[in-house]
Structure 1
Amino acid sequence: MFQSFEVTTRPDAAPPRVARLREWMATRDLDAFIVPRADAWQGETVAARDERLAHISGFTGSAGFAAILRDRAAVFTDGRYTVQVRAQTDPATFETVAWPATKLAEWLAGALPDGGRVGFDPMLHTVAEIEALEAVPGIEPVATENGVDAIWADRPPAPLGAMTAWPDALAGRSSADRRADIAKALKKAGVDSFVTNQPDAVAWLLNIRGADIPRTPIAQAFALIHADATVDLICAPTKAAAVIGHLGPQVRIVPEEDLIPLLGRQTGPVGYDPGTCPVALARALDKGKPMPDPLALPKARKTDAEIAATTEAHLRDGVAMARFLRWLDHVPASTTEIDVVKALEGFRRETGKLTDISFETIAGSGPHGAIVHYRVNEATNRLLDTDSVLLVDSGGQYLDGTTDVTRTMPLGNPSRHIAHAFTRVLQGLIAISRVVFPTGVAGAHLDALARAPLWMDHRDYDHGTGHGVGVHLGVHEGPARISRASLVPLESGMILSNEPGYYREGEYGIRLENLMVVRPAERPEGGDDRAMLRFETLTWVPIDRRLIVTGLLSRDERAWVDGYHAEVLARIGPRLEDADRRWLAVMCAPL
């Protein structure tokens, strides 16, 4: 899955807002001010009141930041947003900078050759980010109030969604058990407490869910976790009112305005993760200790109960997807991208189990498919192209799981060139699906397997191959990924996506995506006695065989496709009505 985008802000709104921000900067003698996309919880999806980057620049992508200087401004973002950032920002006001190829510290060193005072909101930037700026000669990072907030007259209020209990039966472990495990880890690390600003980690630890962020069932909250297995849950008290009994006496509710004083009262060593912890929290600690987040890996390693739960959610979602794909095969020529989005959500809602979609559905026809983060709106809506392809990336939130699946379907009679590219992407998906690898291997070691078929054709894609996924939590979850940048070893129980793609700007886009869970691999006869891992597929949705150039596939690749489709038919077919089941049988016929 990739976060989609919709032009909801006007580029022409940026110049006057930037001018007002520069006036504010002048009153504080700042040479620059940094505007991140992230909120105090370092979230990929943020509440409306935290859309500061969109407010100042117009850019609504899920990753990036802006640097506003007195006579210059730039928006930094990665290759996923190359098209989007150009479409949403005013080129007369903002340069666009490829990041992370160009680091902020490097850019500021060139933009401010004589040095300067660079303002930042200490609740929105991590310790690691500011340490990188402090290392630049002449650059003085200055913690200050937020300049965008100061000029944002109609800023929305903070969300106050109610927390709910998540069943222990789905979690596989009680909150008390999880807190006890983390307490042991804290004692081993030599700290009395650990402070986290990661809402999904808080939700995992306490077996709760929230309603503060669209599409992701989390509550904006902080937590101070102690080595005696008690927890201070820092949030608006009204959010937690319905879960007081579930949380029990070992979890204390602390109002958010008391967060900094609470941290200041800690007399023993308190751990924090420099990569996620806001500067304001670390500076409030008398004895802060940088350390890896002790919740990140336990959260990523799903329990057997969580895997069983999400397996059922994926089967339910597969039924909805099969019904949608059959519907798509019979739509009239007047069908639009918005029709596709509404229909797919409708099929998911008809399961009776959908709590929400897991992100805004991407439905890109023809050239819109080449916009990796495309999100249709009334202004961009178009009829489905003929003789091209439709890329649909979507997912559902169910109480028992979070799904994320991408399929690319033919519209009319796509060219053999498109089918060739589709088959190369399919070969990449197959390579990841089939790989067996030793323990200790990270996503960076596997990423090239998905790209190799495209590389043979002098092609590539500018995004990672896979991301972690939660269970009724975030559709993007750390710390493990399949990416050139990820050195986190993969472990049994981790759920990841497998989503290679290919995009030809102005023409079409192709992506295929399944979710997988890491499992121990059985040792074949004659194999060495060493621990190995494999991927077990969770997503069961047909891959459109009409776009497969079978001559490009090896015998093993064809066998994988046929085996996958046989499993789709066996797992999904019995859950479908007759007409849908007959259609699925045709789509799952052997190559």
Structure 2
Amino acid sequence: MLKNHEDRLYALRARLGAAGLDGFIIPRADEYLGEYVPPCAERLAWITGFTGSAGLAIVLAEEAAVFSDGRYTLQLEQETDPALWQRLHIIENKPEAWLRPRAAGKRIGYDPWLISPEGLKRFAGVELVPVAANPIDEIWTDRPAPPLAPAVPHPETYAGESALSKRTRLATELRGAGQDAAILTDPASLAWLFNIRGADLEFCPFALGYALLRADATALIFMAPEKITPELRDHLGPEVTLLDRTALPGEIATLHGKTVRFDPATQPAWFETALAEAGARIAPGPDPVALPRALKNAAEQAGTRAAHKRDGVAMVKFLAWLSTASGQTESSAAAKLLAFRAEGELFRGESFPAISGAGAHGAIIHYRVTPESDREIRPNEVYLIDSGGQYLDGTTDITRTIWTGPAPAPDEIRANVTRVLAGHIALARAVFPVGVAGGHLDALARQELWRAGLDYDHGTGHGVGSYLSVHEGPASISRAAKPVPLAAGMLLSNEPGYYLPGAYGIRLENLVLVQPALFPGALKPFLRFETVTLVPFDRALIEPALLSPEALDWLNAYHAQVYEALAPQLDDTTRAWAKAATAPI
């Protein structure tokens, strides 16, 4: 067993040399290319020590580098050994730019299950060699087994539409495009299309597998037999065939002469090669499930509101408790919040590992407390709690920044929190025409920070699923993302922030539903945001003089809405805290 990262890197280089390879690309990915991966797919963490949810490493005979984005800059420095790895910002130092001058005349290996064709195109000019077996798997002798939790039906009460109706709707789209079938590799797409959920991942209710949707609305699902129950077979019906993943190559081979939709941006390169070898005509295009999944129907929207009301009760109980608690640590506070959430109806678990960061830890954008890093939440400092829940009827994600007191917060911190809040409110109040993408709105959330020479190194918002992943495409509020127009029914986060390394972090996050904005006589349709999160902002960190009258009106109206929605479900002590926390400013 290779216990330290130096030995692991040495063993990998030896394995590459034996295979005739001069280097290897290691994405942080599993064979479904999802953000959250099971322990057996944490190859990047195993080889480098970096545990963030986004990153990539390149190993050469004499050099190695690990890359991630601005959310993980500090974490990358803390978790990896600079004697072994160059630690680089993936935007400022692109992996392909780092590799090209070092790869002349060299053969660089990659696992075709762990990278998309578009991901490979980034490395144009490099001799890339697909491997049949991942060399990390060959040296990772204590690698965990793949997850085999059963797949279960998701009730139509929460889904809002039958699986048959969804398949029929998407099959009509395929026929209209002259396509015979579509490859589905995103577990969220399987979950939504077939109204199934699972427990293969800790924070996403996914049953890992692949599917082939045909233009006649029949489908094949490729999934480990251990996941299949009689209840699931009855739920899916006779038009959906369940097969082991080992049957996948054979079924792909039957697509000779067929036109098959395949997304080169999000699906493993293995499928592109297999389809080409089978003689299928590849029709490049987005996963046909991605956009319909993002457009929440009436039942999903109602479930989202109900889940956020329950989640708001848990958060208010937590904040009221925190206001008088003493001697708590980052981990004990996160555990207390989880306990409050677990009291709620339909709760199934956290939607991601809680980011519970006190003081300087709050400046680590995706900080995750460990037994080694856990520290006390001290008086008179900033505490950031970013967390969420998975409920049968919806997924939540909320961040609040708290001043622990008892002394007043310093003017600088109050000013910066209020600038972040002003940006949050500006985005929440936005009204915009149909066709506008989230990236077009990103600057609204940054404008007050920019006026003070401040900024944050992450997007302002991401899509959120309906009892699915807390990070969902295709839309986002980010300048870095592809410009997908926002549409009614999309659920996104609104989460501007500011981070002062070594001191504190600020993030204020609500979820918002895109809704029609009705203007009598308007010549084009407009949209607006409905805020569904119901939790007060910390008054101790708000400087009213820095908010416009319109922003103050929004804040007071929001707080009044929070109290009205939650007060009947709170005990007397918590209700009194909530009343004070939501009083007009």
Which bracket does the TM-score occupy, shorter chain normalised? Answer: over 0.9
Alpha-carbon distance in structure 2 between the residues aligned to 1:459 and 1:27: 50
Where structure 1 has 5 or more consecutive residues not aligned to the other structure, the ranges are 1-9
Letter in 1 for 2:492: L
- Alignment partner, residue 352 of structure 2: 359
Letter in 2 for 1:454: L
Distance 1:385 1:472, change over 3 A: same
**What are the within-5 Å matches in structure 2 for residues 155-174 of structure 1?**
155-174=143-162
CA deviation digits over 1:95-132, x for unaligned, max 9? 012113333222211222x2321100111111111233
Structure 2 length as normaliser, TM-score?
A: 0.97
Q: Which moved more, 1:430-439 or 1:367-376?
A: 367-376
Checking the alignment, whether the CA contact within 8 Å between 1:217 and 1:472 is kept in structure 2 is yes
Checking the alignment, whether the CA contact within 8 Å between 1:109 and 1:139 is kept in structure 2 is no
Checking the alignment, whether the CA contact within 8 Å between 1:236 and 1:255 is kept in structure 2 is yes
Deviation at 1:439, TM superposition (A): 0.6
Counterpart check, 1:391 vs 2:384: yes
Deviation at 1:282, TM superposition (A): 1.3
Q: 2:333 is matched with which residue: 308, 328, 340?
A: 340
Checking the alignment, whether the CA contact within 8 Å between 1:165 and 1:243 is kept in structure 2 is yes
Letter in 1 for 2:252: L
Alpha-carbon distance in structure 2 between the residues aligned to 1:266 and 1:16: 45
Alpha-carbon distance in structure 1 between the residues aligned to 2:78 and 2:264: 34
Alpha-carbon distance in structure 1 between the residues aligned to 2:41 and 2:353: 18
- Alignment partner, residue 432 of structure 1: 427
Counterpart check, 1:561 vs 2:549: no
- Alignment partner, residue 114 of structure 2: 124
Alpha-carbon distance in structure 2 between the residues aligned to 1:106 and 1:215: 34
Deviation at 1:528, TM superposition (A): 3.2
- Alignment partner, residue 276 of structure 1: 266
Aligned length: 576
Deviation above 6 Å: which 4+ runs of structure 1?
Answer: none
- Alignment partner, residue 583 of structure 1: 577
Counterpart check, 1:24 vs 2:12: no
Checking the alignment, whether the CA contact within 8 Å between 1:120 and 1:144 is kept in structure 2 is no
Distance 1:218 1:140, change over 3 A: closer
CA deviation digits over 1:336-361, x for unaligned, max 9? 11220111011111124311111111
CA deviation digits over 1:395-434, x for unaligned, max 9? 1111111111100111113211111110001011101100
Alpha-carbon distance in structure 1 between the residues aligned to 2:88 and 2:339: 39
- Alignment partner, residue 350 of structure 1: 343
Alpha-carbon distance in structure 2 between the residues aligned to 1:115 and 1:297: 42
Structure 1 length as normaliser, TM-score?
A: 0.96
Alpha-carbon distance in structure 1 between the residues aligned to 2:185 and 2:361: 36
SS of match in other structure, 2:353: coil
CA deviation digits over 1:171-203, x for unaligned, max 9? 111000000011011112211111111000110
Letter in 1 for 2:44: L
Letter in 1 for 2:13: R
Alpha-carbon distance in structure 2 between the residues aligned to 1:516 and 1:119: 42
Letter in 2 for 1:439: V
Q: Which moved more, 1:114-123 or 1:43-52?
A: 114-123
Alpha-carbon distance in structure 2 between the residues aligned to 1:126 and 1:103: 17
Letter in 2 for 1:418: I
Checking the alignment, whether the CA contact within 8 Å between 2:350 and 2:389 is kept in structure 1 is yes
Checking the alignment, whether the CA contact within 8 Å between 2:110 and 2:128 is kept in structure 1 is no
- Alignment partner, residue 488 of structure 1: 484
Alpha-carbon distance in structure 2 between the residues aligned to 1:17 and 1:160: 27
Counterpart check, 1:520 vs 2:510: no
Counterpart check, 1:211 vs 2:207: no
Alpha-carbon distance in structure 2 between the residues aligned to 1:82 and 1:47: 23
- Alignment partner, residue 545 of structure 1: 539
Letter in 1 for 2:218: T
Q: Which moved more, 1:296-305 or 1:284-293?
A: 284-293
Where structure 2 has 5 or more consecutive residues not aligned to the other structure, the ranges are none
Checking the alignment, whether the CA contact within 8 Å between 1:119 and 1:144 is kept in structure 2 is no
Deviation at 1:296, TM superposition (A): 0.8
Deviation at 1:506, TM superposition (A): 0.6
- Alignment partner, residue 244 of structure 2: 255
Q: 2:285 is matched with which residue: 258, 282, 291?
A: 291
SS of match in other structure, 2:202: coil
Letter in 1 for 2:339: G
Alpha-carbon distance in structure 2 between the residues aligned to 1:28 and 1:384: 51
**What are the within-5 Å matches in structure 2 for residues 192-231 of structure 1?**
192-231=180-219
Letter in 1 for 2:476: R
CA deviation digits over 1:224-269, x for unaligned, max 9? 0000101100011221213110010111001011112211121211
Counterpart check, 1:458 vs 2:467: no
CA deviation digits over 1:547-591, x for unaligned, max 9? 100010111011011000010011111121222111111110000
CA deviation digits over 1:467-509, x for unaligned, max 9? 0000111001111100002301101000000000111011101
> Alignment identity in percent?
47
Letter in 1 for 2:216: D
Alpha-carbon distance in structure 2 between the residues aligned to 1:81 and 1:545: 29
Checking the alignment, whether the CA contact within 8 Å between 2:346 and 2:393 is kept in structure 1 is no
Alpha-carbon distance in structure 2 between the residues aligned to 1:197 and 1:185: 18
Letter in 1 for 2:495: E
Deviation at 1:289, TM superposition (A): 2.3
Checking the alignment, whether the CA contact within 8 Å between 1:260 and 1:281 is kept in structure 2 is no
Q: 1:58 is matched with which residue: 49, 52, 56?
A: 49
**What are the within-5 Å matches in structure 2 for residues 290-309 of structure 1?**
290-309=284-303
Alpha-carbon distance in structure 2 between the residues aligned to 1:149 and 1:222: 21
Distance 1:378 1:565, change over 3 A: same
